[in-house]
Structure 1
Amino acid sequence: MLKIAWSPLYSHPLPEGHRFPMEKYALLPEQLKYEGTANDSHFFEPGMLDEKWILDVHDHDYLQKLHSLSLSRKEERKTGFPLSKQLVQREINILCGSVMACEFALEHGIAMNIAGGTHHAYADHGEGFCLLNDIAVAANYLLKNKLAKRVLVVDLDVHQGNGTALLCKDEPNIFTFSMHGKSNYPMHKEKSDFDIALPDHTKDGIYLENLKITLPKLIDKFQPDFIIYQCGVDILDSDKLGKLSVSLQGIRERDEFVLGSAFEKDIPVMCCMGGGYSPQIRDIIEAHAMVYRLAQDIFF
């Protein structure tokens, strides 16, 4: 059965006019249930992850500053969020969701987190709508608990996974692959194990060609026994923060190729959603929903 992490904390309210669409976290599960892709039994509510797993990735002083709400104004502005106790709880809840989804993926082949993909968070600070890095935390959790030997991070958000790249660079058993917009945020890119930086207005053909050439080679070379897939939909041509021009059909083909590659090689995969900032919320929901439909079609 497809298991999907979701919590009411995911929809933490933000000030009116904030450009981060928190409402998608409430609307996406309702859409999946309405169309029959999922029902209540598919969803699980994560709790609060034991801090030892957070501290395996993040600095103690930084975590304490989050708990005490003592980030400086500059640090807070860099995250893009107004800091609050509920927001910090939300971020830890997301980490737990990704870790638990990894465990379900080991059992069922695939599992999802409706939030997550917080790839801009560093050890000692947050940025770009990310306070804590669920990808790095989940990958390290798998390795430390001997649940996986080699974790491949496939990050296809329009923004480079800069925090993940730096957090994982000294761990030889985590391989980070990021395909993103060359001229988009962050302006300073870290060095992933493998990066593809695409020019503005890249369309389906070039995008999918790069993916279909690269991913099989990385799987064959690194031989992962687990994949964490950051499947952001801000590559969509309508996205107001992305600069690529991929269609909804292109996103579907992207997700189908990644999930199909994992299924064919019998590699468990955990999907975390990442970004999506199209002006019309229905476009965001439709783009995100496709990976859940494909997970059901391919794995079950």
Structure 2
Amino acid sequence: MAKYALLRERLEQELPELNLAPALPASAGELALVHHPAYIAAVAQGGLTPAQQREIGFPWSPAMAERALRSVGATLQACRAALSGEGLAANLAGGTHHAYADKGAGFCVFNDAAVAARVMQAEWGRRGEAWRRRPLRVAIIDLDVHQGNGTASIFQGDDSVFTLSLHGEKNFPFRKEASDCDIDLPDGCGDADYLAALEQGLAELERRFEPGLVIYLAGMDPHENDRLGRLKVSADGLEARDRRVFDWAWQRRIPLAMTMAGGYGRDIAVTVGLQVNSYRVALDYGRRWQALSAPGR
């Protein structure tokens, strides 16, 4: 948990260009576009059973519930900013992709990417002249080392959301769900094979889907220093990965919202440093979006 405060502190010090804003809590109505009302109420009111808390991985408290709401809310804010002309925005936390519609799991209470996709689709339909617009289609590019099983389950059979997941074949969750595109990676996978797999995934996404928004889970747990990742991707490999995803969206002028997802380095400072570098890359592409919207362009 300490990495989130450390990340904010380092971003304030090293990347003062970033516009940081408080994370506002998601509402029960927004959550209910994905999650079951009884589960939402159990989280809000402290009604989770001991078994449910064990599956999530930490005990209920008012602070836990508040954090879960704000983690989702920050992804909503990032998506709104990206779609409203910023082009690129991010949540310093988020990426809680193991949460299902009716339960949490794997340190994930609510599924922020799934809720954001649904809320953005609903808000898109309420915009002016909506009858002229195609429905908003959302691509979730999940590059956490663990498969986004909750996200995959939520959107199975839904052709308005495309789920792409690169993940460790033998890693948690041990019972995978079917994403629209799953690419299983062997233990020890290094830079070259990882980046080749990413190219394969992006090519499949482009072949089958045309998104109006990308939600990118930039997990740092594929890193070679990660305690849980079991892959061997270097810091340079992760930067190349981030640049490829940002560039893929930029070349197609698709707004993108980034979340941090997992990262469990043996040295927490290493994980935070990797995350800071993702923001450096994001700033580069953010400047391109700003230039695109500048007067006279």
What TM-score comes out, normalization by structure 2 length? 0.90
Match of residue 125, structure 1, among 103, 107, 110: 103
Unaligned runs of 5+ in 2: 126-134, 288-297
Please tell me whether residue 70 in structure 1 is matched to residue 11 in structure 2. Answer: no
Match of residue 44, structure 1, among 21, 29, 33: 21
Match of residue 103, structure 1, among 70, 80, 86: 80
Unaligned runs of 5+ in 1: 1-21
Q: Determine the structure 2 residue equivalent to 1:90.
A: 67
CA distance in 1, matches of 2:74, 2:87: 16
* Residue type at the aligned position of 1:109: G
Q: Is the 8 A contact 2:27 2:69 kept in 1?
A: no
Please tell me whether residue 28 in structure 1 is matched to residue 22 in structure 2. Answer: no
CA distance in 2, matches of 1:51, 1:68: 12
CA distance in 1, matches of 2:226, 2:285: 27
Find the residue that maps to 2:124 and give its secondary structure. coil
What do residues 172-231 of structure 1 show as CA deviations (whole Å, max 9, x unaligned)? 100000000000000000000110010100000000011123213412430111100001
CA distance in 2, matches of 1:89, 1:171: 30
CA distance in 2, matches of 1:68, 1:225: 36
Match of residue 172, structure 1, among 136, 156, 159: 159
Shift of 1:31: 1.1
Match of residue 274, structure 2, among 275, 287, 290: 287
What do residues 34-87 of structure 1 show as CA deviations (whole Å, max 9, x unaligned)? 22x235x61011222221110110001111111221212111111111211110
CA distance in 1, matches of 2:257, 2:206: 16
Q: Is the 8 A contact 1:255 1:294 kept in 2?
A: yes
* Residue type at the aligned position of 1:176: T
Give the 5 Å matches for 1:149-160. 149-160=136-147
* Residue type at the aligned position of 1:235: P
Q: Is the 8 A contact 1:166 1:191 kept in 2?
A: yes
Q: Determine the structure 2 residue equivalent to 1:59.
A: 36
Find the residue that maps to 1:42 and give its secondary structure. coil
* 216 and 187 in structure 1: CA distance in 2 versus 1, 3 angstrom threshold: same
Q: Is the 8 A contact 1:236 1:245 kept in 2?
A: yes
Find the residue that maps to 2:89 and give its secondary structure. strand
Match of residue 198, structure 1, among 179, 185, 194: 185
Find the residue that maps to 1:295 and give its secondary structure. helix
Give the 5 Å matches for 1:103-252. 103-106=80-83, 107-146=85-124, 149-252=136-239
What do residues 253-295 of structure 1 show as CA deviations (whole Å, max 9, x unaligned)? 0000000111111000000000000111111111111111011
Count of matched residue positions in the alignment of Structure 1 and Structure 2? 277
* Residue type at the aligned position of 1:71: L
Q: Is the 8 A contact 1:149 1:224 kept in 2?
A: yes
CA distance in 1, matches of 2:44, 2:8: 29
Find runs of 4+ consecutive structure 1 residues off by over 2 angstroms.
Answer: none
CA distance in 1, matches of 2:141, 2:250: 15
What do residues 98-130 of structure 1 show as CA deviations (whole Å, max 9, x unaligned)? 011101111211000001000000111111000
Q: Is the 8 A contact 2:181 2:204 kept in 1?
A: no
CA distance in 2, matches of 1:69, 1:234: 31
CA distance in 1, matches of 2:33, 2:59: 26
Match of residue 81, structure 1, among 37, 42, 58: 58
Find the residue that maps to 2:58 and give its secondary structure. coil
Q: Determine the structure 2 residue equivalent to 1:269.
A: 256
Q: Is the 8 A contact 1:169 1:192 kept in 2?
A: yes
Range that drifts further, 198-207 or 168-177: 168-177
Aligned CA-pair RMSD? 1.2
Find the residue that maps to 1:43 and give its secondary structure. coil
CA distance in 2, matches of 1:153, 1:34: 30
Q: Identical aligned pairs, as a percentage?
A: 39
* Residue type at the aligned position of 2:217: Q
